[in-house]
A and B are shown apart, each in its own frame.
Chain A
Amino acid sequence: EIVMTQSPATLSVSPGERATLSCRASPSVSSNLAWYQQKPGQAPRLLIYDASTRATGIPARFSGSGSGTEFTLTISSLQSEDFAVYYCQQYNNWPPLTFGGGTKVEIK
């Protein structure tokens, strides 16, 4: 089973600042990694797939990078609607499909 580890668990950021979220895979997942955003009471929404490709309709302030075992989601300038929980997920080697534990981005 591929283990996905996200850090930090909680990130406190002021609106307008940059947020950097990390995801580590063990073992490697190549570039087969996605990022999702989830707000309270809502289903997850796909932000980034194939490690760095923005999904349809996702603003350019969201960017993904990395390959192999180390990945990063960057939100360049946090807007009020970006405060949420973010999950990474690998689809390289399964079953099982596996998710990270999530990073909560909260208002500082």
Chain B
Amino acid sequence: EVQLLESGGVLLQPGGSLRLSCAASGFIFSNYAMSWVRQAPGKGLEWVSAISGSGAATYYADSVKGRFTISRDNSKNTLYLQMNILRAEDTAVYYCATPGWYRPFDHWGQGTLVTVSS
């Protein structure tokens, strides 16, 4: 059974930094692209970033480009999202999902809440 488990969400001030993690199990992690998708409170879904199975290719939404970095450790079956220079508008539940690389998102984690507020 595929499982994705996000962690790392907290309350922090604007301008701060945070790293989210997504632990994957139940599939060959290195074979699949991964994405982060976020959802602001009461709002719709917004794709944030994607990474290829090898980690060689990465893509970002314009809203986070230059501030967020996606990465993965295939030896640990873990996906990361390094978030810097956080803004109030980054407040959201962050989901990891797979595959999303010219394919739909078959599997989603349960999400982790990031709140940016002074």
Q: Which residues of A does B touch, CB under 8 Å?
A: 32, 34, 36, 38, 42-46, 49-50, 55, 87, 89, 91-92, 94-102
Contact = CB atoms under 8 A, between A and B. Distances in A.
A55 B102 CA distance: 16
A101 B46 CA distance: 10
B108 A95 contact: no
Contact of A96 (B47, B103, B104, B111): B47
A25 to B, nearest CB: 14
* Size band of the interface chain B makes with A: 20 to 34
A44 B44 contact: no
A94 B109 CA distance: 22
Interface in B97-118: 100, 102-106, 108-111
Interface in B28-56: 35, 44-47, 50
Query: Secondary structure of the A side of the interface?
Result: loop
8 contacts: A38-B45, A43-B108, A44-B105, A44-B108, A87-B45, A91-B100, A94-B102, A97-B47
B104 A94 contact: no
A9 to B, nearest CB: 11
Contact of B44 (A32, A42, A102): A102
Contact of B47 (A42, A98, A101): A98
Interface in B72-118: 95, 100, 102-106, 108-111
A101 B44 contact: yes
Contacts of A89: 45, 104-105
A43 B109 contact: yes
B103 A95 contact: no
Contacts of B104: 34, 46, 49-50, 55, 89, 91
A22 to B, nearest CB: 16
A66 to B, nearest CB: 15
Contact of A100 (B44, B50, B108): B44
Contact of A91 (B46, B103, B111): B103
A96 B62 contact: yes
